[in-house]
């Protein structure tokens, strides 16, 4: 499947989420330090953003750094933070020119202050753009997200601004990091593992899953099209029977 073969744009996902796994193994197989694997992971980020923008996909959410990644060796964590700072400095102009709206989700208070400042600047600068919404999950964990939503709702109850009875699925949803975004239609995970690894636990309830053996630095747009082709032939039932779908 190439872009010439996307005959029905309605069969494309509206929101794509990606777990970019395999940078470390990519580097090790070449006898290189892990940090060079993360560096090699920038090119597929660019090509994925470009392809999603070109196809008119509304939302792309990338898992760049998980709550659990803090326990990696200190040099690796510092190297990743430096890479995020460098990439933001280098890429934001071009993203802005391409009308990409950039935002970040995760526990910002744990990130280096210079990175947090650049993140805020990029968000403010691109806030009015009407192209692809690119969401980068940094210091993010699905359990952290649900926990912080619960805390926000509990605070509203404690302050008398909300009743306990009003806490339902939509109230929780409204306090999650991706509040207001449609749930991902398609999750892509590279690197051969078949798990969610504490990514968007709440939001992935009905998401179609595409697992690839390719290590993230080798993931290219041809494979992204393969993921879209896989998605296009899925029948999404949201808990209903196949017969109900035929009628509806």
Can you list the pairs that 7-12 forms with residues at least 24 positions away whose Cβ atoms lie under 8 Å? 8/232, 9/55, 9/56, 11/231, 11/232, 12/55, 12/56, 12/57, 12/228, 12/231, 12/232
Compute the distance between CA of residue 235 and CA of residue 242 in angstroms, rounded to an integer.
Answer: 9
Compute the distance between CA of residue 165 and CA of residue 236 in angstroms, rounded to an integer.
Answer: 31
- Give the distance, in angstroms, between the CA of residue 38 and the centroid of all CA atoms in the same chain: 16
> Residues touching ligand FPP: how many (CB under 6 A)?
20
Task: Give the nearer residue to ligand FPP in terms of CB position, either 1 or 42.
Answer: 42
To the nearest whole angstrom, how small is the minimum distance from the Cβ of residue 216 to ligand FPP?
6
Residue 126 near ligand FPP by CB under 6 A: no
For residue 91, give Cα distances in angstroms to 12, 16, 74, 86, 192: 26, 20, 26, 9, 29
Residue 106 near ligand FPP by CB under 6 A: no
Residue 23 near ligand FPP by CB under 6 A: yes
Q: Which residues are annotated as catalytic?
A: 21, 69
To the nearest whole angstrom, how small is the minimum distance from the Cβ of residue 27 to ligand FPP?
8
Residue 223 near ligand FPP by CB under 6 A: no
To the nearest whole angstrom, how small is the minimum distance from the Cβ of residue 83 to ligand FPP?
6
Using the Cα atoms of residue 124, residue 66, residue 191 and residue 8 in order, give the sign of their dihedral.
negative
Residue 62 near ligand FPP by CB under 6 A: yes
Closest residue to ligand FPP using C-beta atoms: 24
165 to 204: interface string for ligand FPP, x by CB under 6 A: --------------------------x-------------
Alpha helices by DSSP H, listed for the chain, are 23-29, 34-40, 42-55, 74-97, 113-126, 142-158, 169-175, 221-232, 242-247
Residue 25 near ligand FPP by CB under 6 A: yes
Among the listed residues 156, 180, 182, 178, the one whose alpha carbon sits nearest the alpha carbon of residue 167: 156
Residue 79 near ligand FPP by CB under 6 A: no
Residue 87 near ligand FPP by CB under 6 A: yes
To the nearest whole angstrom, how small is the minimum distance from the Cβ of residue 69 to ligand FPP?
5
Query: Out of 12, 15, 22, 186, which residue is the one contacting ligand FPP (CB under 6 A)?
Result: 22
Binding positions for ligand FPP, rule: CB under 6 A = 20-25, 38, 41-42, 45, 62, 64-65, 69, 83-84, 87, 136, 191, 216
């Amino acid at each position: 499947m190439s872009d010439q073969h996307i005959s029905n744009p309605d069969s494309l996902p509206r929101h794509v989420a990606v777990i970019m796994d395999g940078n470390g193994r990519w580097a090790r197989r070449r006898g290189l330090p892990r940090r060079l694997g993360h560096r090699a992971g920038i090119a597929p980020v660019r090509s994925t953003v470009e392809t999603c923008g070109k196809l008119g996909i509304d939302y792309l959410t990338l898992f760049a750094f998980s709550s659990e990644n803090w326990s990696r060796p200190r040099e690796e964590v510092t190297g990743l933070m430096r890479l995020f700072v460098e990439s933001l400095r280098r890429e934001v102009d071009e993203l802005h020119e391409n009308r990409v709206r950039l935002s970040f989700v995760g526990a910002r208070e744990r990130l280096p202050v210079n990175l947090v400042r650049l993140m805020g600047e990029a968000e403010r600068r691109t806030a009015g753009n009407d192209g692809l919404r690119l969401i980068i999950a940094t210091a993010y964990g699905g359990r952290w997200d649900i926990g912080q939503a619960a805390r926000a709702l509990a605070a509203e109850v404690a302050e008398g601004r909300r009743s306990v009875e009003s806490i339902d699925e939509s109230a929780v949803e409204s306090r999650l990091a991706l509040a207001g975004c449609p749930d991902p239609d398609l999750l892509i995970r590279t690197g051969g593992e078949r798990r969610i690894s504490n990514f968007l636990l709440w939001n992935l309830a009905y998401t179609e899953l595409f697992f690839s053996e390719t290590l993230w630095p080798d993931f290219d747009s041809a494979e992204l099209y393969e993921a879209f082709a896989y998605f296009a032939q899925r029948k999404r039932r949201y808990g209903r029977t196949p017969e109900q779908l035929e009628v509806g």
